[in-house]
Amino acid sequence: MKKAKRILVFAILAAMLLSLCSCGMFRTHVAKAAIKMSKLDSLHADVEMQIGMGISVLGQDVNADAAITGGADIQRDPERVYVNMNAEVAGFEQNMLLYAVGRDDGFDVYSSADSGDSWTKDSIENDDSSKNSKADGKSLFLLLSDSAASFKEYGKEKVNGSDAIRYNGKITSDELKQALELADVKQSLEESLDVELDDDVFEYLGDVPVSIWIDVKSGMIVRVEMDMSDVMQGLVPVLVDKAMEKADIGIGVNTKVYEVTVSITLSEFDAVQVTKPTTLNIG
């Protein structure tokens, strides 16, 4: 749980830092938005991830397409998070709930894979790993700011029923590789999958196209979209092969990722109050 959370936190941090990487008018707009959003006590995020993937086992092709959609309510004080996600994989659907409560020395995390009928508790303790990590906000900001020149204004579109200016840009493969290395993602993957990855695992991941929308009236960042297709096409087959090797499974398995897109839409700024799910029985 701790390793998965570390990777998820990095992904969200990277997405937000991307919004701080540009020049000219875009830099001005996003700098103002970042200041406003840093002062928020709460917000809602709608997340959509589409995955196009196929698996071939002994010459038999299996459709492994997946879609993950849902929402997250995030509150700073007191520190609470509630996530309600629906996952559809190869035609099978599952509802996943997560409720996290912050405390001085970490988080208590309650999760449910049956729409809240039963819950499992996990504790995430603060340790020195985050302090010792090479990835702090400043270093990632300076690295990803190299993408500045790629962001250009695309036009005005509606987000949450309001006008927003869209900017398109990208993170290059080299910038992504350095960011992943700074965040110790290789170590996190190795520990979570119990495998040993080659040093050049992030060498040829491809670029990440990014779009960012800034609301005209509020000046807030209201949407971030990323196309992770090239990245996952290079990374997922490697992870699958390593996992199969670790499990000593000798049959031929080929994994092909066709498309991976992520969309995060932000709303309800300072209007969210996270409360305990009604089916969760805790004090």
- Separation between Cα atoms, residue 124 and residue 2, nearest integer Å: 6
Higher-scoring residue by pLDDT: 248, 103: 103
What pLDDT is stored for residue 74 in this prediction?
92
> Distance between CA 150 and CA 174 in Å, rounded?
14
Statement: residue 6 has pLDDT above 90: no
Q: Are 98 and 81 contacting, i.e. CB atoms less than 8 angstroms apart?
A: yes
pLDDT in tens, 93-145: 999 999 999 888 888 999 999 999 999 998 877 764 444 444 444 454 555 55
pLDDT at 7 over 60: no
Higher pLDDT, 277 or 129: 277
**Residues 6 or more apart in contact with residue 26 via CB below 8 angstroms:** 151, 152, 153, 167
Confidence check: pLDDT of 159 > 60: yes
This prediction has a pTM of 0.80
pLDDT in tens, 28-58: 666 677 778 778 899 999 999 999 988 887 7
Given this model, what pLDDT does residue 4 score? 42
Least confident interval from 33-42, 123-132, 181-190, 215-224 = 123-132
Q: Collapsing DSSP states into helix, strand and coil, what is residue 255? A: strand
In terms of pLDDT, which residue wins out, 117 or 241? 117
**What interhelical angle do 2-18 and 185-193 show, nearest 10?**
150
pLDDT above 50 for 1 = no
Closest CA to 231 of 271, 200, 202: 202
Q: At residue 27, what is the residue type?
A: R
What type of residue sits at position 206? G
More confident residue, 271 or 192: 271
Is the pLDDT at 69 greater than 50? The verdict is yes
Using alpha carbons only, give the angle 14, 20, 23 rounded to the nearest 5 degrees.
Answer: 135
Q: Rounded to whole angstroms, how far apart are CA atoms 180 and 184?
A: 6
* CA-wise closest residue to 252 among 61, 53, 63, 51: 61
